[in-house]
Each structure stands twice: as C-alpha cells, then as structure tokens.
C-alpha cells in the first residue's frame, strides 16, 4: 500500500489547505480521493474532555530556543512530521500560541550545549503548527518521546510530552508514560506523520 501514500509534504499541504478543525488527518494521507474525503468532525477537544495533561519538562530543557520548524538538518534519523492544532476546550483554535519542541537524537542523546533538535514556532491563524524532524531514540529509563511547551500569552505554559503508539512495550515500562499523550502516527511514502492537538485552558 506504500505507493498509495502521499509524501509528507503532500500530506501536510493537503492538511494546511483544509480549514476545518475537525479534519481526520488519517484520511488525508491517502492519495485515493474517495478515501481522502474529510470525515465528520472528531475533535479531541470538547465539553467532556479536559485540557491536555502536563508532564515534567525533564532535565534537558534549554530555554530560549530559536524560531525553527525544520530540524532535519540538525541530526540524521528517520523523517517524522509532527502536526496539530492548539485549541481551547471549546475547540476554538488558538493563533499565535508558541509551540516549543525539543527531543533526543536517534541515539537517545540531547544536545545540551546548542539547539540541535530544539526550536519553536507560533501557531498560524487557524491554530496549526508543523514541525519537520526525526524519530527520537530511547534512552535509559524512558520510552520514545517528544518534549513540548505550549505558551499562550497571558496563560500558564503547558509543559508536556508526546508518545509513539508503536512502542507499546517500552511505553508500558515507562513510569511516566500516559496514553492520553499518544500521537496518532500514520505512514507517508517518505516517513511518518504524527498528529497531536493540544487543548489549553483558555477562555
Ligand atoms: Fe526526554
């Protein structure tokens, strides 16, 4: 089926061209138009859902990361595109939220002297962010994860982590893993695309 998949660039372009908060990303990665139709709204935010849970920033956070959304030149590794919305609990997209991403390289090591695999961006007018990066490696005691801070002006910063659904065994062995922070990960023809929508406590 791999030849039916879009490239990451094509898939993200299609996602960015859509304007509804309720786009089901999975359908957009397939090149068959019949399968690529937009499904009914399935938001991760809503009256029955709380805000995205917070988790520790861990020992490897470096403040003042550069504005950077493409980490691919920072380190070798398997291509991974991370996309999503920042919304409030009523599913309203939050523009200009600052999403700060940092993570280990493919061998599980952090750059603690510079800003490789570290960067931030502001969400667009529809509350969307897109990072181009690599799949991080695991390191002792931790399953595979991304670290993220989401800052909305005037609000407390959300600090959390994102997890990979393909690592069930390692996830279950990580004491701070939380299934509510699992990305939805789909294959593109040239890598993987992970989707996670952050829901923040904003009126
Ligand atoms: Fe970490």
Q: Cα(57) to centroid of ligand 1, in Å?
A: 8
Could you tell me the distance, in angstroms and rounded to a whole number, from the CA of residue 202 to the centre of ligand 1?
A: 27
Q: What is the pLDDT of residues 166-180, one digit of tens each?
A: 999 999 999 999 999
Looking at residue 133, its pLDDT comes to: 98
Q: Give, for 76, the enclosing helix (H) or strand (E).
A: none
What is the band of 150 on the pLDDT scale with cuts at 50, 70, 90? very high
| Sheet containing 158-163: order of strands | 118-122, 98-102, 145-151, 158-163
- Establish if 59 belongs to a structural domain: yes
Percent over 90 (pLDDT), the chain: 62
In a domain, 1, yes or no: no
- Which position has the higher pLDDT, 105 or 6? 105
Q: What is the pLDDT of residues 38-66, one digit of tens each?
A: 333 344 565 556 899 999 999 999 999 99
Ligand 1 geometric centre to CA of 166 (Å):
17
Q: How many domains would you assign to the chain?
A: 1
8 Å CB contact between 96 and 66: no
5-35 in b/e burial notation, b at 16+ Cβ within 10 A?
Answer: bbbbebbbebbeeeeebebbbebbbbbeeee
Q: Which tokens go with 93?
A: 């997209």
Does residue 117 form part of some domain? yes
| Ligand 1 centroid to residue 58 C-alpha, Å | 6
Taking the centre of ligand 1 as the mean of its atom positions, its distance from the CA of residue 17, in whole angstroms, is 33
Q: What is the pLDDT of residues 123-134, one digit of tens each?
A: 998 889 999 999
In a domain, 24, yes or no: no
- Residue 18 included in any domain: no
Task: Give the global pTM.
Answer: 0.88
130 part of a folded domain: yes
Q: Comparing 4-13, 56-65, 70-79, 125-134, which segment has the lowest mean pLDDT?
A: 4-13
Long-range contacts of 168-172 (CB under 8 A, 24+ apart): 170/138, 170/143, 170/144, 171/143
Average pLDDT value for the chain: 86
192 — pLDDT class (breaks 50, 70, 90): very high
- Centroid of ligand 1 to alpha carbon of 113 (angstroms): 15
Whether residue 95 lies inside any domain: the answer is: yes
**Where is mean pLDDT largest: 11-15, 127-131, 161-165?**
161-165
Q: Domain containing 137: what range?
A: 44-199
The CA distance from 69 to 97, in Å, is: 14
Whether 114 has a pLDDT exceeding 70, the answer reads yes
The CATH number covering residue 188 comes to 2.60.130.10
Per-residue pLDDT for 26 more than 90? no
What is the distance in A from the centroid of ligand 1 to the CA of 73? Answer: 20
Residue 30 domain-assigned (yes or no): no
């Amino acid at each position: 089926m791999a030849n039916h998949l879009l490239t990451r660039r094509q898939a993200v372009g299609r996602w960015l061209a859509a304007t509804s908060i309720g786009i089901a990303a999975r359908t957009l990665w397939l090149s068959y138009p019949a399968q690529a139709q937009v499904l009914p709204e399935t938001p991760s935010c809503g009256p029955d859902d709380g805000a995205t849970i917070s988790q520790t920033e861990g020992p490897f956070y470096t403040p003042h990361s550069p504005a950077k959304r493409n980490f691919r030149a920072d380190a070798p590794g398997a291509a991974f595109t991370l996309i999503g919305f920042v919304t409030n609990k009523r599913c309203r997209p939050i523009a200009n939220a600052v999403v700060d991403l940092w993570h280990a390289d493919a061998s599980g090591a952090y750059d603690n002297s510079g800003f490789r695999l570290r960067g931030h961006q502001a969400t667009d007018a529809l509350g969307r962010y897109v990072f181009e990066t690599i799949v991080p490696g695991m390191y002792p005691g931790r399953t595979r994860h991304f670290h993220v801070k989401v800052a909305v002006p005037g609000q407390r910063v959300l600090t959390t982590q994102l997890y990979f659904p393909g690592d069930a065994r390692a996830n279950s062995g990580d004491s701070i893993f939380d299934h509510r922070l699992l990305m939805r990960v789909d294959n593109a023809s040239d890598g993987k695309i992970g989707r996670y929508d952050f829901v923040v406590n904003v009126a």
